[in-house]
Amino acid sequence: MATMKEFRNNVKPNWCPGCGDFSIQAAIQRAAANVGLEPENLAVISGIGCSGRISGYINCYGFHGIHGRSLPIAQGVKMANRELTVIAAGGDGDGFAIGMGHTVHAIRRNMNITYIVMDNQIYGLTKGQTSPRSATGFVTKSTPQGSIESSITPVELALSVGATFVAQSFSSDLKGLTELIERGIKHEGFSLINVFSPCVTYNKVNTYDWFKENIVPVETIEGYDPHDRIKAMSTSMKYNGLITGLIYQNTEQKPYEALVKGFKEEGLAKQDIRLSQEDFDKLVAEFA
């Protein structure tokens, strides 16, 4: 069984010192080891942005895609080889701006992959502009007088389109985040894990201290039931989306792959995909 160290490579991350993404990388590596994966069993697919670099920092299969497109690629990887554990990763701009259409449809499709969003509520790689997660009034280079738009709430978005696993964490909570990623990997269906990951360079509002003062773990809420979708939605609305932990899980809905008729358990990588002469002749005859 692989250890966390075996999911490390020799590529040194070039995130800013103090970036929350370091902890998210460590949590993915710990979770992969804890659930018994080997590096060759895992594929990490990322998009563009500071978060997009993560696919090159973990010793496993990796694919650095284009902006907002990590989910289509991740779903393609899973369809081609369902034996792989597939994790898609991206930032809040990647997932909730240019990639929003893919996020919504991946959630409702419910393919068996895990999507980790590194939510710093700002565009970090392009030097500090508002993202869909920036609060109204947020001052940045692109909104010097304060943003006039309202922010997206990932939890409520996911619940509204039928998510079967919704979790939220804080990058400082390495133990809790690792456990949520483990649960997301084990979940049979699409798992959305939104992680508050402070940008120490450009976001001077949503800091580590700010999150520590404002987030509310759902396990501290009396009577909270992560299997109650209505309760999950109302709780998120009550606390302005600043709740952490396993927020909602539906274990009854089957994943997409299980519903595709004739879809083999064995990955394409292990199948004999050569055409027989008979099948080849039939195909040629259609065009003759």
Least confident of 82-91, 125-134, 142-151, 263-272: 263-272
Which pLDDT band holds residue 267 (cuts at 50, 70, 90)? confident
What's the average model confidence in pLDDT over 226-255? 97
Please return the burial class of 90, using the count of CB atoms within 10 Å of its CB with bins 0-12, 13-18 and 19+. Answer: buried
Q: What percent of the chain has pLDDT over 90?
A: 90
Query: Are 233 and 206 contacting, i.e. CB atoms less than 8 angstroms apart?
Result: no
Give pTM, 2 decimals: 0.94
What's the average model confidence in pLDDT over 72-99? 95
Query: Residue 266: its pLDDT value, please?
Result: 87
Query: Residue 79: its pLDDT value, please?
Result: 93
d(CA 120, CA 21): 9
What's the average model confidence in pLDDT over 259-266? 88
What's the average model confidence in pLDDT over 150-174? 97
Query: Residue 263: its pLDDT value, please?
Result: 87
Strands (E), 11-95: 42-46, 61-64, 85-91
From first CA to last CA, the distance across the chain in angstroms is 54
Query: Are 113 and 74 contacting, i.e. CB atoms less than 8 angstroms apart?
Result: yes
Task: Please give the single-letter amino acid code of residue 46.
Answer: S
Task: Output the CATH code of domain 4-287.
Answer: 3.40.50.970
pLDDT in tens, 109-142: 999 999 999 999 999 888 999 999 999 999 998 9
Residue boundaries of the structural domains of the chain? 4-287
Which pLDDT band holds residue 214 (cuts at 50, 70, 90)? very high
Strands (E), the chain: 42-46, 61-64, 85-91, 114-119, 165-170, 191-196, 216-217, 243-249
Please return the burial class of 88, using the count of CB atoms within 10 Å of its CB with bins 0-12, 13-18 and 19+. Answer: buried
